[in-house]
Amino acid sequence: MAVETRASAYQTAQRRFDAAADVIGLSDDTRRTLREVKRELTVHFPVRMDDGSVHVFTGWRVQHNISRGPAKGGIRYHPQANLELVKALAMLMTWKCAAVGIPYGGSKGAVACDPTKLSLNELEHLTRRFATEIAILIGPEKDIPAPDMGTNPQVMAWIMDTISMHSGHSVTASVTGKPVDVGGSEGRTDAPGRGATYLTLEALKYLHFDDQTPTVAIQGFGQVGRSAARLLDEAGLTIVAVSDSKGAIHNPKGLDLSALEEHRQVRGGVGGFKKAESITNEELLELPVTVLVPAAIEQQITEDNAGKIRARLVTEGANAAVTPEADQILHDRGIFLVPDIIANAGGVIVSYFEWVQDLQAFFWEEEEINTKLHHVITRAFYEILHMSVNKHIDMRLAAYALAVQRVANATTVRGIYP
């Protein structure tokens, strides 16, 4: 079962690539090159645990492509992480960076571990040793890690410090998503949710919906979901439902987000919020809202429920929340999708800004960062929309086609060495 899941993540990534390659008529030579990852490093490394025992962990760093610039991609700590999944995620990063036009290739890293079961001390030792093991690949000009599932700004600070200790001086540009105190960027925490908000507003403008006050349901109330909820609410939309892994709540008149935030901090989740009724996560996905934002985990809208989605616009905040089969069903039903590759790209765009600020040792105000984010992500949206309309393809395929074309151009013009 686990092996099947592993195979399918990379196969799905290659399947999406093949479809995009067909759209742009990619040559067989370039297709063979881009279909594979460039480098894959597997490391097994010992960590001394708090009880004195030694545990050997396995981790990976994969670079899919570096034709357009240094590789960029997060590091995930998760028990089910594996090489095939990391390869798939590295490939997705190549397309994501190219789709939004930032000068990076794509990479990803992971350690198979459950960070919730490690002490802070064990987490730090694991992180510093893993950073040392992959130090032959990473660095500001080569490959720049960032947080992903199970990692956070503190983990990034440890990686930056480890690389800096090896170099004998501070190398702040070696990772992004760091705390602001050590070269992190203003606006980074909200960036994925902010990008999703900007694109939801652009899509609504394009679609000319006549809803007086568009309503929104958000699955997942974590970093992406909470930022999106707050910012969409500030933009005048009505958030009628949200959920987390423990439950979902609904109030057709709109949720009081500041009261909900207080409730979440006390209760540790959205469940039991008094000013709303409890529903299931499945019901949340099928509510008759203007906008649905899946911002939790992958494979939430599938061939089983895509026919029941009643939102008119889906902004895919979480990576791979919609399966390829569901893509087709949503498209056939006239439901507009803003795909993950751009919907949550605010994170990597502001990571790029962080790297640029670190390299020039000159930091920008949050307002400037948000303005630049708006420019980059909105430009990408309209370029992809243009491709989608011109080629009569859905937004995801259009995003992939545009991205693959950019990477193929860079790969071809550079030629094959030697």
**Binding stretches for ligand NAD (CB under 6 A):** 192, 219-225, 243-245, 281, 295-297, 317-319, 344, 347
Report, in Å, the least distance between residue 188 CB and ligand NAD.
8
For ligand NAD, which is the closer residue by CB, 27 or 80?
A: 80
Q: Angle CA(274)–CA(275)–CA(277) in degrees, nearest 5?
A: 80
Rg for the chain, CA atoms, rounded: 21
Catalytic residue among 108, 178, 246, 308: 108
40 vs 60, 94, 125, 379, CA distance in Å? 7, 15, 23, 33
Which has the closest alpha carbon to 189: 157, 224, 232? 224
For the chain, helix (H) and strand (E) counts, in that order, are: 14, 12
- Closest approach, Cβ 4 to ligand NAD, in A, equals 20
Closest to ligand NAD by CB, 21 vs 384, is 384
Nearest residue to ligand NAD, by Cβ distance, number only: 222
Smallest distance, Å, CB 37 to ligand NAD? 19
Residue 296 or 387 with smaller CB distance to ligand NAD: 296
**Closest CB 44 distance from ligand NAD, rounded Å:** 26
Going 260 to 180 to 110 to 57, the CA torsion angle's sign is negative
What is the closest distance, in whole angstroms, from the C-beta atom of residue 79 to ligand NAD in the complex?
Answer: 15
Q: Which residue number, 214 or 347, has a Cβ lying nearer to ligand NAD?
A: 347
**Shortest spacing between CB 363 and ligand NAD, in angstroms:** 20
Give me the sheet containing 336-338, strands edge to edge. 277-279, 247-250, 238-244, 215-219, 291-294, 313-315, 336-338
Cis ω on the peptide bond leading into residue 70 (within 30° of 0)? no
Element housing 247 (H / E) = strand 247-250
- Work out how close the CB of 97 gets to ligand NAD at its nearest, in angstroms, rounded to a whole number: 12
- CB nearer to ligand NAD: give 84 or 133: 84
Query: Is 59 or 220 the residue whose CB approaches ligand NAD more closely?
Result: 220
Q: Based on CB atoms, which residue is closest to ligand NAD, 219 or 238? A: 219
Q: Which residue has the tokens 């694991």?
A: 126
> With contact defined as beta carbons under 8 Å apart, do 251 and 276 qualify?
yes
Q: Which of 103, 92, 71 is nearest to 10 (CA)?
A: 92
Does residue 377 sit in helix, strand or coil? helix
Q: Are 332 and 307 in contact (CB under 8 A)?
A: no
Task: Specify which residues 238 forms β-bridges with.
Answer: 215
Q: What DSSP line would sit under 156-201, residue for residue? A: HHHHHHHHHHHHTS--GGG-SS--GGGTPPTTTTTHHHHHHHHHHH
Q: Is 108 a catalytic residue?
A: yes
Residues in the chain: 418
Task: Give the catalytic positions in this structure.
Answer: 108
